[in-house]
Amino acid sequence: MAKPRLTPLIESLPAMVPFVGPEALVRARGKPFRARIGANENVFGPSPRAIAAMAEAAAGNWMYADPESFELREALAQFHGVDRANIVVGEGIDGLLGLTVKLTIDPGDTVVTSNGTYPTFNFHVAAAGGRLVRVPYRDDRQDLGALLDAAIAEDARLLYVCNPDNPMGSFWQADKLQELIAALPDGLLLCLDEAYCDTATAMQPLAFDVGNSQVIRMRTFSKAYGLAGARIGYAVGEAGLIAQFEKVRNHYGINRVGQIGALAALGDQAYLADVVGRIDRARGMLGDIALRNGLQPLPSGANFVAMDCGHDGAYARRVLDGLLARDVFARMPGTAGLDRCIRVSCGTDADLDVFAAALPQAIADADAE
Amino acid sequence: MAKPRLTPLIESLPAMVPFVGPEALVRARGKPFRARIGANENVFGPSPRAIAAMAEAAAGNWMYADPESFELREALAQFHGVDRANIVVGEGIDGLLGLTVKLTIDPGDTVVTSNGTYPTFNFHVAAAGGRLVRVPYRDDRQDLGALLDAAIAEDARLLYVCNPDNPMGSFWQADKLQELIAALPDGLLLCLDEAYCDTATAMQPLAFDVGNSQVIRMRTFSKAYGLAGARIGYAVGEAGLIAQFEKVRNHYGINRVGQIGALAALGDQAYLADVVGRIDRARGMLGDIALRNGLQPLPSGANFVAMDCGHDGAYARRVLDGLLARDVFARMPGTAGLDRCIRVSCGTDADLDVFAAALPQAIADADAE
């Protein structure tokens, strides 16, 4: 039978799915979750101003969004103290990670990441035929020195650092990142995924230096801004590097309602500050629940807490399964060493009550097996 | 100064922008358009049910959309009489065109298209390093026989046909497409872009044959359904081929509000029928305006009309510039031969009044130069 020809790379790839969504789990379970605290969404939601702007924008959805995202980029540029030419908007950070890989990686080119950090980045590297070098975590943190050493030793073109880290929640302060940046060899691009930076109240923020073409920083409206469904991420970098995205991005890929919502959310920093406070409080409550149940909460700058279950991956998986069976949607790291933990997103008080009730039972189940 | 390494392909590409948006024109002009009839949007808007669903969905935008688009795919499958596994949802057809190219084209591989049809497809081929073979139009239609001959002679992996065609509006009936499909050589994929099929009231629709892995068909909610801003397109094809998209697509690229709006719009076929009637009427009125002004409207199945200005590209450009100067946003083909035309999208009666008043003045300007 006649058929199309796919590229050898595509033929060689497994059909990997980075993350199974909670909706698929609900369909398989046949019943809804009582607490949706597994995808690091912001249960407190976006600014009421953003909600109102999006609701009002619905009728105008017959129009394409501005493919240049001019107004949003202008507002972001002012907010960050950079120029519009330093910013490109994409379909979430996920989309921008794919484009960054496309700009830099040919089949066989080397990419360095930490073994167990955000897997969607790896997904894009695989789709580009890149050679992925994974550096182990050290004390549940990405090991900046070892990452740099590996990038130099392997002549990598791209180095991925997630700060704060997903799935562990750990983060590096600005001075450590500046040391890394100062040491980057010629020909290496550092992709700094800062999806969770807005909730990292204890983290000293790294200043923007858009004169440095070796660093590209990823930001999103999906986390602290509460607009995961809007798919609005952006990258900040040197203008010449940002201009390269014009060659490969889906110019009409950004949805109109999301773009309008993001602009309104950015304009409501008072609401953001309030939400970050609530996330910080929930983070503390999650830590307390963990401790009360004999789990060790890891320090987190993100809107989730990784909890060390104190045993191996099979044990943590049993705890997680016990939570899922009790209608709590949570997740866990998939990588050996990290997989002694479960990962629970910040929730409303009601969400945390459900979690607090389910956790001891899930642990009892895990212990009993 | 140290810098990152881009791939040789990226370094070689020009920073091509497929379409400048009307917002950029408005910023350059410093005043709004009175008629936005240049981007083939649906001025009549989406179903009120879709608007209501999207407005209601705004508050839930803190959640990611289902990355499997299960409900929308299920509804589309039932609507088209295919299986969910035959459908993949993407960020508009544009996004899916990019993925289709990624699945099939390595640098140097050959792609065949018509010289002057939808340029965003070419943009994606360029970004993949594909070798693009352009076949001339014949009588303002894509020349199916010549396209097939070229694909065979050049050992192409991918053949693009836009039906109805953008920018000319012409279309082929199902029997002619079936002849093409029956003659496709092994190893060739036909990408049939049917963005405008829903408004082609005189076109006999091609039945779906999802047993054939050599044809992939692109559909969208951007045109007849009036949801251009939502960025919801989908591809229909053989299940094994559709499954390949899982290897490369941005799994969390689809925005939640748009997905919900598309589902509601699909469910309101009575509204769609009504809108298609209004588009058909506007198409007729555009033709009448053209004829009254000595321009020849081309038969169109799309939600726009190409109007032959009867002279060369420079003349049509003057007519278009005259329209833009009179606050009418329209466009024109960029390719020699086709560029004797301007292209005007269906508008409201008010839009068409503005156009009807501006056109004779624009023609007078063009004649005077």
Contact by Cβ (8 Å): B181, B152: no
Q: Domain of B279?
A: 19-45+270-368
As a whole number of angstroms, the distance between CA B253 and CA B234 comes to: 13
CA distance A183 to chain B (A): 11
Residues A352, A254, single domain; the answer is no
As a whole number of angstroms, the distance between CA A47 and CA A69 comes to: 20
Q: Is the peptide bond before A46 cis (omega within 30 degrees of 0)?
A: no
Residue A3 in domain: no
Q: Complex ipTM, two decimals? A: 0.97
- Between CA B336 and CA B343, with CA B342 as vertex, the angle to 5 degrees is 115
The DSSP bridge pattern shows strands B304-308 and A110-114 to be unpaired
Question: What is the mean pLDDT of each successive set of 10 residues along chain A, which is 369 residues long?
Answer: 93 84 96 98 98 98 98 98 98 98 98 97 97 98 98 98 98 98 98 98 97 98 98 98 97 97 98 98 98 98 98 98 98 97 98 98 95
The DSSP bridge pattern shows strands B158-162 and B110-114 to be parallel
Q: Is the peptide bond before B164 cis (omega within 30 degrees of 0)?
A: yes
CA distance B61 to chain A (A): 5
pLDDT (tens digit, 0 to 9) for every residue of chain B, 369 residues total? 789 999 999 999 987 777 889 999 999 999 999 999 999 999 999 999 999 999 999 999 999 999 999 999 999 999 999 999 999 999 999 999 999 999 999 999 999 999 999 999 999 999 999 999 999 999 999 999 999 999 999 999 999 999 999 999 999 999 999 999 999 999 999 999 999 999 999 999 999 999 999 999 999 999 999 999 999 999 999 999 999 999 999 999 999 999 999 999 999 999 999 999 999 999 999 999 999 999 999 999 999 999 999 999 999 999 999 999 999 999 999 999 999 999 999 999 999 999 999 999 999 999 997
- What is the predicted pLDDT for the residue at A32? 97
- What is the predicted pLDDT for the residue at B265? 98
Q: What is the DSSP letter of B295?
A: -
CB spacing of A252 vs B59 below 8 angstroms: no
Residue A8 in domain: no
Residues B163, B297, single domain; the answer is no
Beta bridge partners of B73: none
Q: What is the DSSP letter of A138?
A: B
Block residue for tokens 């894509």: B142
The 10s digit of each residue's pLDDT in A243-255 is 999 999 999 999 9
Residues A56, A175, single domain; the answer is yes
CA distance B1 to chain A (A): 8
For chains A and B, what is the number of CB pairs under 8 angstroms?
A: 300
Nearest CA in chain B to A7: B104
As a whole number of angstroms, the distance between CA B194 and CA B161 comes to: 9
Residues B229, B186, single domain; the answer is yes
CB spacing of B61 vs A227 below 8 angstroms: yes
Residue B2 in domain: no
- What is the predicted pLDDT for the residue at B288? 98
State whether residue A46 sits within 8 Å of chain B by CB: yes
Q: Is the peptide bond before A32 cis (omega within 30 degrees of 0)?
A: no
Residue A95 in domain: yes
Residues A172, A239, single domain; the answer is yes
Kind and range of the H or E run holding A147: helix A144-153
Residue A84 in domain: yes
Residues A29, A70, single domain; the answer is no
Nearest CA in chain B to A253: B91
Q: Residue A72 CB: number of other CB atoms within 10 A?
A: 24
Residues B35, B163, single domain; the answer is no
The DSSP bridge pattern shows strands B87-90 and B233-236 to be antiparallel
B252-311 residues touching A, CB cutoff 8 A: 252-258, 261
- What is the predicted pLDDT for the residue at A131? 98
Contact by Cβ (8 Å): A306, A40: no
- What is the predicted pLDDT for the residue at A185? 97
Q: How many domains does chain B have?
A: 2
Contacts of B66 in chain A (CB under 8 A): 21, 23-24
As a whole number of angstroms, the distance between CA A30 and CA A24 comes to: 10
State whether residue A74 sits within 8 Å of chain B by CB: no
State whether residue B18 sits within 8 Å of chain A by CB: yes
CB spacing of A222 vs B64 below 8 angstroms: yes
CA distance A237 to chain B (A): 12
Contacts of A227 in chain B (CB under 8 A): 61-62
Residues B199, B290, single domain; the answer is no
Pick A244's closest partner by Cβ from B6, B46, B230: B6
- Residue B138, classed as helix, strand or coil, is strand
Contact by Cβ (8 Å): B336, B311: no
As a whole number of angstroms, the distance between CA A213 and CA B62 comes to: 33
CATH code where residue B135 lies: 3.40.640.10
CB spacing of B55 vs A58 below 8 angstroms: yes
Contacts of B57 in chain A (CB under 8 A): 229
- What is the predicted pLDDT for the residue at A82? 98
CATH code where residue A305 lies: 3.90.1150.10
Residue B102 in domain: yes
Provide the phi-psi class of A169: left if phi over 0, else alpha when psi is between -120 and 50, else beta: left
B232: amino acid identity, one letter: I
Of the candidates B223, B97, B106, the one whose C-alpha atom is nearest the C-alpha of residue B157 is B106
Residue A11 in domain: no
The DSSP bridge pattern shows strands A341-345 and A304-308 to be antiparallel
Domain boundary among B233, B267, B301: B267
Domain boundary among A267, A301, A321: A267
Residues B218, B318, single domain; the answer is no
A127-186 residues touching B, CB cutoff 8 A: 127, 157, 184-186
Contact by Cβ (8 Å): A102, A128: yes
Residues B233, B279, single domain; the answer is no
State whether residue B58 sits within 8 Å of chain A by CB: yes
Contacts of A298 (CB under 8 A, 6+ apart): A140, A168, A169, A170, A305, A306, A307, A308, A341
Residues B282, B233, single domain; the answer is no
Residues B337, B195, single domain; the answer is no
Residue B4 in domain: no
CA distance A364 to chain B (A): 31
Domain boundary among B206, B235, B267: B267
- Between CA B13 and CA A27, with CA B220 as vertex, the angle to 5 degrees is 110
| Most distant CA atoms of chain B, gap in Å | 62
State whether residue A61 sits within 8 Å of chain B by CB: yes
